[in-house]
């Protein structure tokens, strides 16, 4: 049996809509803000409309049942029912929309804002694109020394970072729940595994206040670590982050 | 989804429990320990790792063999392996100890259990005495009432845990190593090291907490001794204390102020507050700017608000185990050295936020200053007061005249809780330096608090990130009218379309 085009379109929209709700609200346990859902659905509706009206024939098939409902004299009863229900629904929707919403404003943010090409810290300029972890080469040249630096990084981490980023580097330290945005989870494949060490150096040395304007709302609680740690300590803690999680930093060299 | 998860958890419990100690391997345990535990608990297991200094409570010293959370008899120093297994697997709420079940395999945890016991030379010991649970008394209003009576009789529990269970101290407590300890605030279940299930509470009451001044209430020699049944009543009562509305809910980020007619409540004891919506926020110590502060005493604050045509009023509530009054001898006895005043602050942006770009949440920034209303509890010489400052960062706090801005306040301390009302007119004359409140607009709001007895002063304090304040406009008829108009318009449009179609057919 062939499903009518109009029903197909409605079904696709319904599946996508409830799909979003299923993925965000149920599976991810992260209620999707209604304004965001509206925005997504706007693009979905536009897309579905474009696909279903791609040819003249399919357009006719799509709008056919609607035209028939309005114009066909034999469909009088169902027409009367629809003509009462539709305006009522629209009225109800308008009422709901114009009633004040007390949902807090949605805060969209860039997770990894693009780094600047150069940054200032410790009173000097760094070329972020060329910047490399000076201790990284020891991994091959002097493994014993390298291990010492990793251990020193672990010490820096446990004395300074775990309060937010957690003992397990999973972004769930004792104070994580009180911060917004929540601290980065280094165990997640989407954080340090995707970044270069120079990026981490930039984020650590300049902290939340060092974020560029496009990273707004600018409320990251990350301290400005150049005020507390030496340059070497930052490079050491970066070594530790990769060592503990088992990830490799990204580098331009291999790509 | 939650139901599926709990059903699944139940199934795992039924199939898997009780966890059976697999023989541990000490060498593997050592390896895991060195990677995961050493940084806090130390190479020698003595709780003196590099992370220890900034932790409150301090990491456990395994060499002392003081197992605080155990289910063997009160006089038996040897814990069950399951006790250690559980602490590693689930972690300890209210401390820096996380649960490791997502990173460590079951066998690795058993290896660790063995390795930890080696630190205390207990690896060959078996516990001799198990805890007697008798028959659990299910919770009920009657059981809770009996528990409440036992809790307060001769100050059995309330001596340390306070009249309302908030752990408001009347005496200085310390652990066996001499370190300061505080009685548990029983209304904060998220700080219970095991859990606040009656069985866990029963266990603590029966065994006590070894190494601390929490005694065993099963001790025959104790004047405060309780029977098994009585201990279940106390456990049920203690669990009931945790059922408070003042808990943090991640989805609740707005302080909603309802509009009321007439005067706003001016004191914390005003009955009008009972109907205000309350929102509780997590507080974190100020670990962001110099001097970083690590050992906070408080972790939450609750806010409610009302407004009328002229003013806005806030009621702030937070638990504080001590009323800190500098200059007062009794207060000094219980306080840590260098006592300060208890205090609380509300922070608001001076200008409305645009494009969600808020001022820096720690005292504002250069481009976007904040108003800080700070109430302090006073000393033996100074009365309580409310002060106004404009902040452009912690280094740039400018004191201003709070009276001129119309700030007033009133605070009360009772049974371990501070309650403070702060009021201000909606509008002030200095529109460039003061926030002007507007109905219906979401305004960022943040809070801060100082516990004087915990040596919290100046930059040693707890704070929240930005949340929202909304002066909720009263209900209006506008939405109903718009709804009716849209319905009528659409109805007319459809009718016109059908009529046109019919007319076309007839032609």
- Which of A102, A219, A228 is opposite residue B466, by nearest beta carbon? A219
Helix (H, G, I), strand (E, B) or coil at B367: coil
Whether the ipTM is more than 0.90: the answer is no
Query: pLDDT of B410-436, one tens digit each?
Result: 999 999 999 999 999 999 999 999 999
The confidence score (pLDDT) of residue B6 equals 54
Nearest CB partner across the interface for B357, out of A166, A217, A244: A217
Domain assignment present for A159: yes
Same domain (yes/no): A204, A91: no
For residue B464, what is the nearest residue in chain A, using CA coordinates?
A: A178
Contacts of A218 in chain B (CB under 8 A): 357-358, 360
Chain B CB within 8 Å of residue A14 CB: no
Q: Which of A43, A65, A98 is the last residue of a domain?
A: A98
**Does B477 have pLDDT greater than 90?**
no
CB interface of B with A, residues 417-446, below 8 Å = 440, 442
Check whether residue A83 and residue A143 sit in a common domain.
no
Q: Which residues contact A161 (CB under 8 A, 6 or more apart)?
A: A173, A237
Å from B412 to nearest chain A CA?
26
Residue A144 lies in a domain: yes
Q: Do A184 and A231 fall within a single domain? A: yes
Q: Do domains B13-119 and B141-241 have the same CATH topology?
A: yes
Report the range of poorest mean pLDDT among B12-21, B136-145, B393-402, B476-485.
B12-21
Q: What is the pLDDT of residues A158-170, one digit of tens each?
A: 999 999 999 999 9
- For residue B7, the model assigns a pLDDT of 53
Identify the pLDDT of residue A244. Answer: 96
Region B300-319 average pLDDT: 97
CA distances from B237 to B192, B228, B245 (A): 15, 14, 17
CA gap B383, B374 in Å, rounded: 14
Strand partners, B374: B345, B387
Please indicate, yes or no, if residue A170 is contained in any of the structural domains. yes
* Pairing between β-strand B397-400 and β-strand B417-425 as defined by DSSP bridges: unpaired
How many other CB atoms sit within 10 Å of the CB of residue B177? Answer: 12
pLDDT of res. A109: 65
- As assigned by CATH, the class of the B141-241 domain is mainly alpha
Residue window 198-217, chain A: list those with CB within 8 Å of chain B. Answer: 208-209, 216-217
Return the number of CB contacts < 8 Å for A and B.
Answer: 153
Same domain, A75 and A139: no
pLDDT score for B14 = 45
Residue A105 included in any domain: no
Average pLDDT for A219-236: 95
pLDDT for B187 beyond 60:
yes
Q: CB distance from A178 to chain B under 8 Å?
A: yes
How far apart CA A237 and CA B292 sit, in angstroms, is 19
Predicted local confidence at residue A255, as pLDDT: 43
Does B506 touch chain A if contact means CB atoms closer than 8 Å? no
CB contact under 8 A, A83 and B97: no
Q: Return the CATH architecture of domain B13-119.
A: Orthogonal Bundle (1.10)
- Write the DSSP assignment of B212-265 as a string of letters: SS---TT-TT-TT---HHHHHHHHHHHHHHT--S----TT--EEEEEE-SSPPP
B77 within 8 A of B128, measured Cβ to Cβ: no
Examine the domain organization and report whether A59 and A181 are in the same domain.
no
Neighbours of B207 (CB within 10 A): 25
Q: For residues A155 and A175, what is the distance between their CA atoms, to the nearest angstrom?
A: 19
Cα distance between residue B174 and residue A53, in whole Å: 77
Q: What is the pTM of this model?
A: 0.84
* Residue A178 shares a structural domain with residue A89: no
Q: What is the mean pLDDT of chain B?
A: 91
Report how far residue B273's alpha carbon sits from residue B306's, in angstroms, rounded to the nearest whole number.
Answer: 8
Residue A111 counted as domain residue:
no
Number of domains in chain A: 2
pLDDT over 80 (residue A38): yes
Please tell me the distance in Å from A72's CA to the nearest CA on chain B: 8
Which residue from A26, A99, A167 is facing B479, i.e. has the nearest CB? Answer: A99
Q: Report, as an integer, the average pLDDT of A76-84.
A: 84
**Shared-domain flag, residues A83 and A124:** no
Q: Does A86 touch chain B if contact means CB atoms closer than 8 Å?
A: yes
The 10 Å CB-count burial string (b at 16+, else e) for B77-97 is: bbbbbbbbbbbbbbbbbbbbb
Q: Are residues A188 and A246 in the same domain?
A: yes
Mean pLDDT of A53-82: 82
Cβ under 8 Å to A: B residues 60-99: 95-98
Residues within 8 A of B (CB atoms), A 45-74 only: 70-71, 73
d(CA B37, CA B394): 36
Domain closes at, from A66, A98, A130: A98
CA dihedral A175, A178, A183, A187 (to 10 degrees): 60
Cα angle B205, B207, B211 (rounded to 5 degrees) comes to: 105
Q: What is the pLDDT of residues B273-306, one digit of tens each?
A: 999 999 999 999 999 999 899 999 999 999 999 9
Residue A164 sits in the same domain as residue A92:
no
Facing B356 at nearest CB: one of A73, A105, A221: A105
The answer to whether the Cβ–Cβ distance between B50 and A155 falls below 8 Å is yes
Share of chain B above pLDDT 70, in %: 95
Which of A54-58, B71-75, B168-172 has the highest mean predicted lDDT (pLDDT)? B71-75
pLDDT at B38 over 80: yes
Which pLDDT does position A63 carry in this prediction? 82
Contact A79 B294 (CB under 8 A): no
> Do B330 and B314 contact (CB within 8 A), yes or no?
no
User: Domain ends where: A41, A64, A98?
Assistant: A98
Domain-embedded: residue A108: no
A88 vs B403: CA distance, rounded Å: 54
Domain that holds residue A200: 118-254
Q: How far is A252 from chain B (nearest CA, A)?
A: 30
- What pLDDT band is residue A3 in, cutting at 50, 70 and 90? confident
CATH number, domain with residue A150: 1.10.760.10
Q: Looking at the structure, do residues A80 and A11 belong to the same domain, yes or no?
A: yes
Pair A181, A92 in one domain: no
The verdict on residue A103 lying in a domain is no
Whole-angstrom distance, CA of residue B217 vs CA of residue B223: 9
Residue A185 within a domain:
yes
- The answer, for B289 touching chain A at a CB cutoff of 8 Å, is yes
Q: Which residues of B493-507 are buried (b: 16+ CB within 10 A; e: fewer)?
A: ebeeebeeeeeeeee
pLDDT at B16: 43
- Residue A94 sits at the chain B interface (C-beta within 8 Å): yes
**Rounded to the nearest 5 degrees, what angle is found at the Cα of A229, between the Cα atoms of B396 and B300?**
60
Domain ranges of chain B: 13-119, 141-241, 254-472, 481-507
* Dihedral angle over CA of B96, B100, B102, B108, nearest 10: 160
pLDDT on residue A233:
98
- The pLDDT value recorded for residue A20 is 87
More confident residue, A232 or B491: A232
DSSP codes joined into one string, A158-170: HHHTHHHH-TTSS
Contacts of A96 in chain B (CB under 8 A): 479
Chain A residues 113-152 within an 8 A CB cutoff of chain B: none
Residues A132 and A79 in one domain: no
- The CATH code of domain B254-472 reads 2.60.40.1190
Which residue from A minimizes the CA distance to B96? A174
All residues of chain A having their beta carbon less than 8 Å from the beta carbon of residue B97 are: 167
Task: Say whether A175 and B284 touch across the interface (CB within 8 A).
Answer: yes
What are φ and ψ of residue B244, in 5° steps?
-120, 160
Average per-residue pLDDT in chain A?
88
């Amino acid at each position: 049996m062939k499903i009518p085009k109009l029903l197909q379109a409605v079904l696709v929209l319904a599946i996508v809509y409830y799909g979003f709700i299923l993925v965000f609200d149920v599976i991810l346990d992260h209620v999707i803000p209604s304004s965001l859902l509206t925005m997504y659905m706007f693009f979905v509706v536009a897309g579905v409309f474009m696909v279903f009206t791609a040819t003249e024939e399919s357009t006719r098939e799509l709008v056919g049942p609607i035209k028939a409902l309005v114009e066909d004299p034999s469909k009088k009863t169902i027409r009367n029912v629809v003509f009462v229900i539709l305006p009522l629904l629209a009225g109800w929707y308008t009422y709901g929309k114009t009633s004040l919403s007390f949902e807090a404003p949605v805060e969209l943010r860039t997770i990894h804002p693009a780094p600047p090409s150069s940054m200032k810290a410790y009173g000097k300029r760094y070329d972020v694109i060329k910047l490399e972890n000076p201790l990284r080469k020891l991994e091959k040249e002097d493994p014993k020394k390298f291990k010492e630096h990793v251990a020193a990084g672990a010490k820096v981490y446990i004395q300074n970072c775990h309060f937010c980023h957690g003992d397990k580097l999973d972004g769930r330290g004792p104070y994580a729940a009180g911060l917004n945005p929540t601290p980065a989870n280094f165990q997640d494949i989407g954080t340090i595994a995707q970044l270069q060490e120079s990026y981490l150096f930039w984020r650590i040395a300049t902290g939340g206040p060092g974020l560029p304007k496009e990273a707004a709302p600018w409320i990251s609680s990350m301290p400005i670590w150049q005020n507390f740690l030496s340059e070497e300590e930052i490079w050491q803690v970066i070594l530790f982050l990769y060592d503990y999680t088992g990830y490799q930093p990204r580098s331009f060299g291999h790509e | 989804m939650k139901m599926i998860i709990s059903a699944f958890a139940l199934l795992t419990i039924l199939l898997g429990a009780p966890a059976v100690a697999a023989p541990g391997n000490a060498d593997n345990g050592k390896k895991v320990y060195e990677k995961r535990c050493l940084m806090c608990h130390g190479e020698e297991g003595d709780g003196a790792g590099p992370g220890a200094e900034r932790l409150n409570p301090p990491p456990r010293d395994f060499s002392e063999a003081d197992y605080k959370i155990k289910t063997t008899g009160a006089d038996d120093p040897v814990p069950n392996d399951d006790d250690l297994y559980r602490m590693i697997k689930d972690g300890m709420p209210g401390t820096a100890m996380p649960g490791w079940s997502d990173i460590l395999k079951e066998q690795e945890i058993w290896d660790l259990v063995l390795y930890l016991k080696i630190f205390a030379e207990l690896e060959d010991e078996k516990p001799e005495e198990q805890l007697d649970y008798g028959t659990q008394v299910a919770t009920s209003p009657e059981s809770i009432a009996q528990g409440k009576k036992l809790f307060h009789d001769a100050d059995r529990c309330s001596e340390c845990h306070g009249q309302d269970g908030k752990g408001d101290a009347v005496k200085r407590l310390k652990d066996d190593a001499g370190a300061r300890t505080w009685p548990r605030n029983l209304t904060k279940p998220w700080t219970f090291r095991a859990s606040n299930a009656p069985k866990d509470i029963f266990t603590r009451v029966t065994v006590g907490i070894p190494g601390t001044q929490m005694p065993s209430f099963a001790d025959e020699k104790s004047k405060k001794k309780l029977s098994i049944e009585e201990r279940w009543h106390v456990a049920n009562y203690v669990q009931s204390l945790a059922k408070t509305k003042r808990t943090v809910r991640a989805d609740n980020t707005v302080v909603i102020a309802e509009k009321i007619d007439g005067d706003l409540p001016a004191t914390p004891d005003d009955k009008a507050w009972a109907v205000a919506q309350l929102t509780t926020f997590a507080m974190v110590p100020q670990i962001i700017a110099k001097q970083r502060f690590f050992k906070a005493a408080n972790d939450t604050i609750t806010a409610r608000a009302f407004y009328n045509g002229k003013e806005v009023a806030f009621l702030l509530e937070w638990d504080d185990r001590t009323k800190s009054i500098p200059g007062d001898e009794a207060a000094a006895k219980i306080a840590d050295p260098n006592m300060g005043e208890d205090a609380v602050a509300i922070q608001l942006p001076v200008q409305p936020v645009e494009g969600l770009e808020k001022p820096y949440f720690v005292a504002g920034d250069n481009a976007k200053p904040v108003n800080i209303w700070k109430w302090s509890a006073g000393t033996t010489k100074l009365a309580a007061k409310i002060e106004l400052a404009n902040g452009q960062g912690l280094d740039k706090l400018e004191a201003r005249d709070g009276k001129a801005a119309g700030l007033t306040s009133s605070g009360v301390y009772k049974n371990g809780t501070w309650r403070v009302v702060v009021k201000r007119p909606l509008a002030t004359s200095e529109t460039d330096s003061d926030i002007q409140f507007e109905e219906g607009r979401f305004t960022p709001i943040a809070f801060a608090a100082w516990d004087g007895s915990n040596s919290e002063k100046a930059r040693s304090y707890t704070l929240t990130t930005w949340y929202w304040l909304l002066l909720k406009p009263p209900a209006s008829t506008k939405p109903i009218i718009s709804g009716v108009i849209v319905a009528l318009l659409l109805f007319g449009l459809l009718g016109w379309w059908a009529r046109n179609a019919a007319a076309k057919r007839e032609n």
